[in-house]
Structure 1
Amino acid sequence: MSGGAAEGGAGGARAYEAVFGAAPAVRESAPGRVNLLGEHTDYNDGFVMPTAIPQRTTVALGPSPDGRHHLYAADLDERATLSAGGAADEPAPPGFARYLLGCIRLFEREGFAVPPLCVHVSSRVPMGAGLSSSAALEVAALRALRSLTGAALSDERIAELGQRAEIEFAGVNCGIMDQMASSLADARHLLFLDTRTLARRLLPLPAGAEILVIDSGVARTLASSGYNERRAECEEAARRLGARALRDVPDPAAAAALPEPLSRRARHVITENRRVLEAAEGLSAGAFGERMNASHASLRDDYEVSVPALDALVALLQATPGVFGARLTGAGFGGACVALVASGQAAAIGESVCREYDTAGQRGRVLVPERGA
């Protein structure tokens, strides 16, 4: 294959040793994330509150025998080959390889030499569910490159490089939340993050509560879903309001001066930032859940990133005893919903809600808590 080529494999997923005939030199992993509050605020310099999920992506690296990078995604059973030390304008290959190319090239821009590599990717982070499978891949790959080379890169810098890889090589003009959550969050706390300054702190979940995540079964793709359009609308709204970013507009009434749909886009971001800041001060599970419910309504009506399947799943969750609040999570246009539920009840609630949801013509799947975990 020529540099940047990708092709499907045969025979199903295989381990690094089976693909490349030797053991890897390093192996690193990173988790996916679920965002409880603060959707579409990160690229507006706002506030977010994600947490890591148990599912992780693992990247293993070892030396290449022929001066090129050889990549293999086990879960997709796909291969790609890239030129080592390629030109800065090397076209990004399709699929998973573009994220790895971005990580390698940005790592090199930091001044670190990357030898020709064999790269093996395996992941348990669901793709297309809004749980940041791409950020988990980016952070895991950059961690592996750091371990292999001994590069002095902080976890914060790894997140920043992962974000640049997604923007420059995958074409998604994303904020920093997903990569920061994958690089710095854990599954036991909420990560309260100021995406402008990167100031952050870990917070406990509301007392008596745990997290439930259900995949709606409706896949979404960010680059073609309207994500970039929403970002452009927010930038235009901030410009018209004379603000550096919508984060700098604290009063939702200010949005009324804007034409539609900019008025509604701005109102969502302004009110969503307020919900995150209120939650960061410490709320009961019920009060936190109320803000999650309000967040979904805002994402549905003002930001227009929900779809009927997500609305149906959220409505079922919100009507279920033991659920404090529920909303879509991720960019929207499909993907997963997150709910805050009474401690010890997430698995049972998830199974019950999925049975009801499935009878409505869709198929839901409980992702967190994991079955048997």
Structure 2
Amino acid sequence: MMKRFEDVFGRAPQALGEAPGRVNLLGEHTDYNDGYVLPIAITQTTRVTMGRADADHTDLYAASLDARARFTLDQAPTEQFARYVHGCLRVVQDEGIAVPPLLIHVESDVPMGVGLSSSASLEVAVLRALRALLDLPLDDVRIAQLAQRAEVVHAGVNCGIMDQMAASLAGTERALFLDVLTLERRLVPLPEGTAVLVVDCGIPRSLAASKYNERRAECEDAARGLRVASLREITDAVLTDDLPDPLRQRARHVVTENQRVLSAVQGVSKQAFGQLMNASHASLRDDYEVSIPPLDALVGLLQSAPGVLGARLTGAGFGGACVALCEAAEIGNVAGPVLDAYARMGHRGAVLVP
């Protein structure tokens, strides 16, 4: 049984903040290229309760890890999970707001390390709790921006803003269409009669961080080669043909992935939406080269399963999760046979959502 705030700190909390994880339906590796993304929130959330501390340091307890960390704003913690929380407090302090020593309790059922943005969920929940505790004039977009800055500057992850915007603004019934460059956004419904299934391939994302940075650098090189500020400015994939390999493939993925997002939000049929997801996976596998054989195998099983309209890897790649758009009436019948077939291939997967 997880310990509550009262169990850990011997008093009741003064503020609460919650935020969901997310799964990205389309728009993978486009956010750091100033492009378009289409995430949707999942039902799993991070819950942060908070109160003022009597001591001169902040005391943090992560219930799902049964781990504790103590730190001051001037001295970052050594524990990685605590660096995200410390970063959130620091970026608020950088806004000129006095942040007192705190008691912080974190409880989360967002799966970690599979591409469902557990870190963004944590950051947004911490900032929402702090907003409530200190009555801060921060809207949900500003919360997302501060959360991204905390992850980049203090957790050392050079991420785009998609995850934090999704955790702050997306819902579980409608996807968030976001223009990352302008932050223009709107909520769009899933195709009628559909539901989302997320399955873990069982392979940790061991290469995701290093390859993520490598892909970012390749995209920046491609943009320079095309004499544009970012690949978002290229709307015709033919214009990438003169780039050297692998920059051509990387740029082609980004350009075509942006087009897939823009097509999806025009209100296409559920069959067309699924085809866009299938094409996205092929592009991530062949042009962006961020898939691995077990991911491809699981995606292939999902794509061929009755009741599945389309499927693709989601997140940075090199392991982690797959997302499938399913007929809502059939979603309960999909995962069992797919995971059985996947197990016969020698792998162990698991349903993450729903």
Alpha-carbon distance between aligned partners in 1 of 2:141 and 2:162, rounded to the nearest angstrom:
11
CA deviation string 1:117-149 (max 9, x = no partner):
011111000001100000000000000110000
Q: Determine the structure 1 residue equivalent to 2:4.
A: 15
Q: Determine the structure 1 residue equivalent to 2:66.
A: 77
> Structure 2 regions of 5+ residues with no counterpart?
none
What is the Cα deviation at residue 94 of structure 1? 3.1
The correspondence for 1:227, drawn from 201, 212, 217, is 212
Structure 1 residue 133 and structure 2 residue 118: aligned?
A: yes
Give the SS at the match of 1:202: strand
The runs of at least 4 aligned residues of structure 1 exceeding 2 Å deviation read 90-94, 221-225
What is the Cα deviation at residue 350 of structure 1? 1.4
**Structure 1 vs Structure 2 CA RMSD:** 1.3
Alpha-carbon distance between aligned partners in 2 of 1:187 and 1:224, rounded to the nearest angstrom:
27
Q: Determine the structure 2 residue equivalent to 1:263.
A: 248
Give the SS at the match of 2:334: helix
What is the Cα deviation at residue 221 of structure 1? 5.4
Structure 1 residue 184 and structure 2 residue 166: aligned?
A: no
CA deviation string 1:134-186 (max 9, x = no partner):
00000000001100000000100100111111111222111110000000000
What is the Cα deviation at residue 70 of structure 1? 0.8
Structure 1 residue 287 and structure 2 residue 272: aligned?
A: yes
TM-score, length-normalised on structure 1? 0.92
Instruction: Please say if residues 29 and 316 of structure 2, whose CA atoms lie closer than 8 Å, have aligned partners that are also in contact.
Output: yes
Alpha-carbon distance between aligned partners in 2 of 1:111 and 1:354, rounded to the nearest angstrom:
51
> Structure 1 regions of 5+ residues with no counterpart?
1-11
Alpha-carbon distance between aligned partners in 2 of 1:355 and 1:27, rounded to the nearest angstrom:
41
Give the SS at the match of 1:60: strand
Give the SS at the match of 1:338: strand
TM-score, length-normalised on structure 2? 0.97
Q: Determine the structure 2 residue equivalent to 1:275.
A: 260
Alpha-carbon distance between aligned partners in 1 of 2:65 and 2:124, rounded to the nearest angstrom:
19
Q: Determine the structure 2 residue equivalent to 1:60.
A: 49
Give the SS at the match of 2:241: helix
What is the Cα deviation at residue 222 of structure 1? 7.3
* Count, aligned residues: 354
Give the SS at the match of 2:131: helix
Alpha-carbon distance between aligned partners in 2 of 1:360 and 1:203, rounded to the nearest angstrom:
37
Q: Determine the structure 2 residue equivalent to 1:7.
A: none
Structure 1 residue 149 and structure 2 residue 134: aligned?
A: yes
Q: Determine the structure 2 residue equivalent to 1:240.
A: 225
What is the Cα deviation at residue 91 of structure 1? 4.5
Alpha-carbon distance between aligned partners in 1 of 2:60 and 2:207, rounded to the nearest angstrom:
23
Alpha-carbon distance between aligned partners in 2 of 1:169 and 1:148, rounded to the nearest angstrom:
22
Greater displacement, 71-80 / 149-158: 71-80
Structure 1 residue 361 and structure 2 residue 346: aligned?
A: yes
Instruction: Please say if residues 85 and 123 of structure 2, whose CA atoms lie closer than 8 Å, have aligned partners that are also in contact.
Output: yes
Instruction: Please say if residues 225 and 333 of structure 1, whose CA atoms lie closer than 8 Å, have aligned partners that are also in contact.
Output: no
What is the Cα deviation at residue 225 of structure 1? 3.7
1:77 maps to a residue whose letter is D
Instruction: Please say if residues 208 and 317 of structure 2, whose CA atoms lie closer than 8 Å, have aligned partners that are also in contact.
Output: no
Instruction: Please say if residues 29 and 58 of structure 1, whose CA atoms lie closer than 8 Å, have aligned partners that are also in contact.
Output: yes
Structure 1 residue 352 and structure 2 residue 337: aligned?
A: yes
1:20 maps to a residue whose letter is F
Alpha-carbon distance between aligned partners in 2 of 1:347 and 1:221, rounded to the nearest angstrom:
30
What is the Cα deviation at residue 201 of structure 1? 0.7
